[in-house]
A and B are shown apart, each in its own frame.
Chain A
Amino acid sequence: MKRIPCARITCEVYQEISRTVLSALGSIGIRRPYIQSGRSIMLGERRGGLFSSGTTLLEDPIDIYSFTVPAERELAVMHRLIQAAMLDQEGRGSIYSEQAERISRDDECPGDEPPHIAAEPPHYPMIQHLVGISCIVQRGQSDIIVRSSLEMGICVPSVTFGIGAGLRDKLGLIRITIPAEKEVVNLVTTQHDAQGVLARLIEAGKFDQPGRGFIFTYPIARGLLNTRLYVGRHLSAASLGQIVAALDELKGTTAWRRKFTGTSDHARSKKREYMRGLVDLTLLCQEGRAFELSKVAMGAGASGATLSRLRRPVPDDTPPGKVVSPAREKLTMILPAALADPVAAALFGAGICDEGTAGEIFLRPCPEAHTYTGKK
């Protein structure tokens, strides 16, 4: 097994723009990105109600594209997408990239062919050094996290659905009494705010209590984020989002946006012990295989997994009459770094490279994680 470094690009756009992104990707040779349906949430102004004032959550369907490119093409691809989908304007979507590793065994599973795009000089000012925060909670429990992240002005959160696998599946039929449906909230914040945000979210989502879920961070190299967090009356010539974007561009950095200053944050939050040195191992495979493979991974030491559904466009040159399923599944596991290789080896051993599985494994670091770990 070897690890091949690559850039993993994620692009979240409103469904109305999805087609534009897909054709832009197709035009540079990325014909088969993974697409996950999700929802994106903004704060809306609530008016007119007798008892209701303040804000409401506005939810819109989004498509989350993800694909890998060789590191040297990363910027060019991102700029092409920003240009095509006009992501530099607020209220369209976000794009960001991570340094990930693809685990491959003797090149059995050929990866995607590199995009045919020349290295272009960067056009758009992107924010460097971001941190992704992912929260896995029970289905229906995401609103509190979404709301607090919007009210803190962190970012426009995106929510996807998943199914938890783990201890539950070993219980026999009584497992049906434990809901497996999860919601995954994805947030992106700047590195200088990450610690403060993490602490606040753990508080808001009560992740230090049993049964509340799991929260972890992962580094993001760079990105351009949707700044439209709030919809309401505009009483000024430019929206706040536009002003923020303009300042980012002028300053060339987002450090001025820092919200959580070290001292006050330190005073506020309790001293927390984070789990450190973990990795996020993600397996992408054909629909219908992930559940079985999650058992294989758990046999190799993984403690649990989150399973979600994705799709992958079918290439246009598919011979007619042949059904090529676009349905894919994603298995996300947070593991101690030392377990990454044994789990990956077990997965390869279970035949993830055969035609019916077409699996791919990616690895990304996961510097901090938190969940209830028993009474101290």
Chain B
Amino acid sequence: MLGSSRIVRENQRVTGNKTPRQPKDRVEISFQQAIGLIIPYIKSRIMEQIRSVWLILLYLILFQTLVLQIPIVDGAIIAFGMTMVIIGLAFFMEGLLLGLMPLGELIGLKLPQKAGLAVILIFSLLLGFGVTLAEPAIGALKILGGTVKAWDAPLLFTLLNTYPDYLVWAVGAGVGLAVVSGMLRFLYNWSLKPFLYVLVPILTAISIWAAFDPNLLYLTGLAWDCGAVTTGPVTVPLVLALGIGITRVVGRGESGASGFGVVTLASLFPILAVLLLGVSFSGTVPQPMPGPEFMSPAQRVTALGLFGGREDDLLRYAFAQGGGDEVRAYFGEDANRRAFVADMARDGSARTRLFGDDEPRFMRWVAVHGSDAEKMTLFGSIKSAREYTLRPPPPPRTSIASLFLRNFQTAAQAIIPLTLFMLFVFFVVLRERLPHTDEIIFGIVIALLGMGFFNIGMETGLSKLGDQVGGKVPSSFTALPLEEQRATINGFSPDIVGSAVDAEKGGVARFFFHRHDRVVDPIPYDDKNYDEMTGTYTYVPQVGPLFGGIWGVLVALLFAFVMGYGATLAEPALNALGIKVEELTVGTFKKTFLMQAVAVGVGVGIAFGVAKIIWDIPLVWLLAPPYAILLVVTYLSSEEYVNIAWDSAGVTTGPVTVPLVLAMGLGIGTRIGVVEGFGILAMASVYPILSVLLTGLYAAYMRKRSGAGQEEESLPVGDDGEAAA
């Protein structure tokens, strides 16, 4: 057909064009060519992250400016922070995919082939324990716990503040055991379902039982949130990759999409561990009691138990967290207190030594609650005491250097020890060689950089904005003072106060006009805010309720839903899970599909969590029913879907969602005055499982209808062939 010369020419083209005749190990490319490669690469990675975070960013900004109509404070810093979030996420994701995950997968591949069962299990235990210590996720819970008053929830206070190490160890042990049982599952090809059938009812039963003990009741929220929080952005991808590697080697060659499920166990075991820790501690702490009773000398021994026996700590806590009654109760007799304040006034260095960072709080307590004599001794005059209360608290100082240092330290702490451990196992225990060493090292380095940038961005950008918006959300259904817009009007005289007919409440409302920025505003007048001595009127603007009745609450719930939805789409660990799922199912289970399903679930869960806080519903009543439904749906679903769905639950509550959710939870919680805002994260974990499983069942139903690979039973055992013969 074709001349032989043609064939030769084509052959040369194939060989000659792509590779040089003398194959070299390395092809040099020019600087321009390199730039031509690098720019689209960076652009695509950055665009990917912009696509994943734009929704939550834009949403927060628009909600605050358009719905709540409150201007954004520190806009420039927030814009900087958001840029850092995007760059950080792009770096971190690329680092995960190039470095951390391939390393995890390699270890997973080699471990069963080269090491015995004992080594695998010890490795798993250490890994699980280590990742918990490394990832500072528990810090987020401590922030939540910071608002818990010692007398309201003594057990919670003890675990979070007095013995936080025990809490971390319990969670670490839980995660360690989870990784061990996860590996055993892979090695012996066990289903995930029995684990769920046993663990979930046990956890629910303990939680219901705990609901009848006031101390343990508060603990359940912490325990369930621990489960959600522990599986962070480094742990999840690493454990996933490890599982995927192991299942590729130890299976008998079944379907390719296995290797999931460890994250689920790593969410459930810590809950159990924390609940058990709480139960074992519950005998040693007092029951919740009113603050003054707790601080009274009669309860001193019990109270000191919560502070490790250190009297100074208790004293400091009384001034920092207590109101007037708590501190008065602490000193028993007023004379004692007077003497103490006098001591403190005389010796400034002792005061600093005793109170440390809490010194302004001590001063403030005296200025607000102290007797006139105490104010005189500490401030010199009643007037300066009064001025002290009017002075806005100094803004926390953060230099750029310390911001970078602190955040990169956290990132290094989360990544470096873990990577060193993995590399040690790989080189020393398994005695293997790394393929693509440069790629893996580069990946680890940019994962580290990315996490640092991301943390900085979260702190200066997203968290800050989340705090502003989240804190303001209650204004949709309740009146909310805007503390940061507090203004002091000097030279005020009550003479200008006028009165108006109050059509809503009846009677007379008092107000005055205030002119600033060429605008004259009517401002409601309240005697309490006028200080005759200084001639100042302190004014805190109020917003809300923006929507009347149930509508306001619905707006808050809707906000919670969209925030959960948007934040989830930006979660790096979920992205990593989605990429792995898509790869292992050869594109039949799309990453975007998984993420949408999970995001809707998280949104619903967070809305429920907010409802829990607003109406103060015990967590158990919101957790037990969905988990009961889940067990049924789990039973109906295929093993593959069960693994992926339950894992996505553990993955969702990551570094983007948690701060935003906490900010909102705290904002609403403090407005409404509930003891603790725990539980929202736990709610955000349960509903994604449901949404993923349900979409899975729907997809299975659709497939059955479309007839792709019909069920075996539905077809007669075909003998057509025989008949034809």
Contacts and interface: CB of A to CB of B under 8 A. Distances in A.
B588 A60 contact: yes
A59 B587 contact: yes
A284 interface: no
Nearest to A123: B721
B10 interface: yes
Given A171-B29, A303-B14, A323-B249, A37 B19 contact: no
B584 to A, nearest CB: 8
Given A60-B703, A61-B585, A313-B253, 15 more contacts: A37-B584, A44-B706, A60-B708, A61-B588, A88-B721, A91-B707, A92-B709, A160-B586, A161-B586, A161-B587, A171-B26, A177-B41, A311-B253, A335-B14, A336-B11
Interface in B246-286: 248-253, 255-257
B708 A14 contact: yes
A204 interface: no
Contacts of A273: 10
Interface stretch (B405-413, B609-617, B711-719): B711-719
A123 B586 contact: no
A304 interface: yes
Contacts of B721: 79, 82-83, 88, 123-124
A276 interface: yes
Nearest to B704: A16
Contact of A16 (B256, B585, B712): B712
Contact of B706 (A13, A37, A42): A42
Contacts of B399: none
B109 interface: yes
Which 6 residue pairs are nearest across A and B when measured between Cβ atoms?
Answer: A14-B709, A177-B41, A326-B253, A313-B253, A336-B11, A303-B18
Contact of B19 (A83, A159, A298, A373): A298
Contacts of B11: 277, 336, 338
Most buried by B among A40, A277, A302: A277
Interface residues of A toward B: which range? 35 or more
Interface string A324-364: 01110000001110110000000000000000000000000
Interface string A80-99: 00110010110111000000
Nearest to A93: B709
Interface of A: 13-18, 20, 35, 37-40, 42, 44, 58-61, 63, 79, 82-83, 86, 88-89, 91-93, 120-121, 123-124, 159-161, 166-167, 170-178, 183, 228, 231, 273, 275-278, 287-288, 291-292, 298-299, 301-304, 309, 311-314, 323, 325-327, 334-336, 338-339, 373-374
A336 B14 contact: yes
B439 interface: yes
B341 to A, nearest CB: 65
A323 B587 contact: no
A361 to B, nearest CB: 19
B360 interface: no
A84 B469 CA distance: 62
Contacts of A83: 718, 721-722
Given A17-B712, A86-B715, A91-B709, A178 B37 contact: yes
B32 interface: no
14 contacts: A16-B711, A42-B708, A59-B587, A86-B715, A92-B709, A92-B710, A173-B438, A183-B587, A278-B14, A287-B109, A325-B109, A325-B250, A336-B10, A336-B11
B257 to A, nearest CB: 8
Contacts of A299: 23
A222 B724 CA distance: 19
B700 to A, nearest CB: 10
B632 interface: no
B252 A326 contact: yes
B627 interface: no
A183 B583 CA distance: 11
A292 B160 CA distance: 52
B250 A339 contact: no
B238 to A, nearest CB: 20
A137 to B, nearest CB: 13
A123 B725 contact: yes
B15 A176 contact: no
B712 A20 contact: yes
A374 B17 contact: yes
A175 B251 CA distance: 33
A176 B113 contact: no
Contacts of B369: none
Interface in B549-585: 583-585
A123 B724 contact: yes
B210 interface: no
